[in-house]
């Protein structure tokens, strides 16, 4: 009899716990967030959106993989996403043309990509007549290669550009000899064949070019300002955790990308992000770099009428996030 009472009490406690968890889940506010298709930095992108970090901020985040910054921007502007993370160049171009988009925090202040080439290429001048893999027109790879060629005095008209989707696609084509150069993540140094080398590290060539920021519409921010701030707070907390727990970040990355345990790329990216300053868990809003990017876009003919860089950001979201975290 006593045993039955204990068992019943245990079942009742379990039921109450389940009801409490269900109640808490119902209280969480849904948030749809877009990230670029996972690669070897996936742990940094996904950790902040997991329940362990999002739930304490009152959010239940649905992660949506997008193929490019442009796709993420369009989904956000159409209302299919509440926010997305990517390079801010597409957002800057759109905002200069009147689109409703704001930058609310930047975790990646530097590019982690580089210009990889076949080993016989020693400089940008050697790219004349060669096939160079980039991404869509106006994308980061497209912008940086054109800017570098212009600085080196190499006419872009003398280069054959191949628009290929992801870093992995561009690297595969370079390794196979289909193209002779490509803009890809420096993580591919760890798996590059002997006849492929890193020629230019973009973080050194263009240190002002922001690699990753979170964008949202001012309409969403007006309606859900605190929710957006809680998202940034979750990002700050999770990124700080990831910086101090290499094993957890690498393990999650390998899970998401289905990489083998001995694949060196995730560990390489962690080292690069934490040691070289490519990641900033405080999610700053570097106005000077945003202004520099807008000037670069204008030089490339993508921004016809530059606007005040301060109009491209919403600093109040980050300020609220810091208050939520007691900082």
Residue listed under structure tokens 């995730």: 266
Name the residue among 70, 84, 92 with its Cα closest to residue 289: 92
Residues 119 and 50 in one domain: no
State which of 205, 220, 253 marks the end of a domain.
205
Residues 281 and 156 in one domain: no
Residues 119 and 92 in one domain: no
Q: What's the alpha-carbon Rg for the chain, to the nearest Å? A: 22
Residues 217 and 106 in one domain: yes
pLDDT of residue 5: 32
**Number of neighbours of residue 174 by Cβ within 10 angstroms:** 27
pLDDT of residue 20: 36
CB of 203 within 8 A of CB of 108? no
Q: CA–CA separation, 186 vs 278, rounded Å?
A: 12
Strand partners, 84: 34, 215
Query: Which parts of the chain have pLDDT scores under 70?
Result: 1-26
Residues 213 and 200 in one domain: no
Name the residue among 26, 57, 31, 34 with its Cα closest to residue 238: 57
Residue listed under structure tokens 């080292």: 271
State which of 205, 240, 266 marks the end of a domain.
205
Residues 218 and 75 in one domain: yes
Q: CA–CA separation, 267 vs 12, rounded Å?
A: 45
Asked, for residue 238, whether it belongs to a domain, the answer is yes
CATH number at residue 121: 3.40.190.10
pLDDT of residue 1: 36
Domain count, the chain: 2
State which of 205, 228, 256 marks the end of a domain.
205
pLDDT of residue 26: 61
**CB-facing half-sphere around the CA of 143: CA atoms within 13 A:** 27
pLDDT of residue 25: 53
**Number of neighbours of residue 242 by Cβ within 10 angstroms:** 27
Three-state SS for 137-188 is: CCCHHHHHHHHHHHHHCCCHHHCEEEECCCHHHHHHHHHCCCCCEEEEEHHH
Q: CA–CA separation, 53 vs 285, rounded Å?
A: 22
Q: Which residues, 6 or more positions from 104, have their beta carbon under 8 angstroms from its beta carbon?
A: 83, 213, 214, 215, 216, 221, 228, 232, 285, 313, 314, 317, 318
Asked, for residue 3, whether it belongs to a domain, the answer is no
Asked, for residue 277, whether it belongs to a domain, the answer is yes
pLDDT of residue 4: 32
Asked, for residue 216, whether it belongs to a domain, the answer is yes
Residues 243 and 98 in one domain: yes
Residues 103 and 229 in one domain: yes
Asked, for residue 2, whether it belongs to a domain, the answer is no
Asked, for residue 10, whether it belongs to a domain, the answer is no
3-state secondary structure of 290: helix
pLDDT of residue 67: 83
pLDDT of residue 10: 38
Q: CA–CA separation, 277 vs 55, rounded Å?
A: 28
Domain enclosing residue 320, as ranges: 23-110+209-324
The DSSP code for 313 is B
3-state secondary structure of 301: coil
Name the residue among 48, 81, 83, 85 with its Cα closest to residue 69: 85
pLDDT of residue 62: 96
């Amino acid at each position: 009899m006593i045993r039955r009472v204990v068992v019943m009490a245990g079942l009742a406690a379990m039921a109450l716990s389940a009801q409490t968890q269900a109640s808490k889940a119902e209280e969480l506010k849904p948030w749809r967030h877009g990230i670029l298709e996972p690669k070897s930095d996936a742990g940094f992108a996904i950790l902040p959106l997991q329940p362990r970090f999002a739930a304490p901020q009152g959010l239940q985040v649905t992660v949506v993989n997008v193929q490019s910054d442009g796709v993420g921007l369009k989904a956000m502007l159409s209302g299919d996403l509440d926010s997305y993370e990517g390079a801010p160049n597409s957002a800057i171009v759109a905002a200069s043309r009147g689109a409703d988009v704001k930058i609310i925090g930047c975790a990646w202040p530097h590019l982690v990509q580089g210009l990889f080439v076949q080993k016989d290429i020693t400089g940008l001048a050697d790219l004349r007549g060669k096939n160079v893999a980039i991404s869509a027109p106006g994308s980061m790879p497209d912008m940086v290669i054109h800017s570098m060629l212009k600085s080196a005095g190499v006419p872009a008209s003398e280069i054959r550009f191949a628009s290929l989707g992801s870093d992995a696609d561009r690297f595969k084509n370079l390794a196979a000899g289909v193209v002779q150069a490509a803009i890809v993540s420096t993580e591919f140094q760890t798996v590059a064949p002997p006849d492929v080398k890193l020629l230019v590290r973009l973080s050194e060539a263009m240190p002002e070019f922001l690699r990753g920021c979170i964008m949202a519409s001012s309409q969403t921010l007006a309606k859900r300002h605190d929710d957006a701030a809680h998202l940034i707070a979750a990002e700050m907390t999770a990124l700080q955790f990831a910086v101090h727990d290499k094993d957890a970040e690498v393990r999650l990355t390998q899970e998401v990308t289905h990489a083998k345990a001995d694949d060196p790329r995730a560990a390489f990216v962690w080292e690069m992000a934490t040691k070289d300053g490519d990641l900033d868990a405080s999610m700053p809003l570097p106005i000077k770099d945003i202004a520099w990017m807008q000037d670069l876009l204008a030089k490339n003919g993508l921004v016809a009428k530059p606007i005040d860089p301060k109009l491209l950001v919403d600093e109040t979201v980050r300020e609220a996030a810091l208050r939520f975290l007691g900082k």
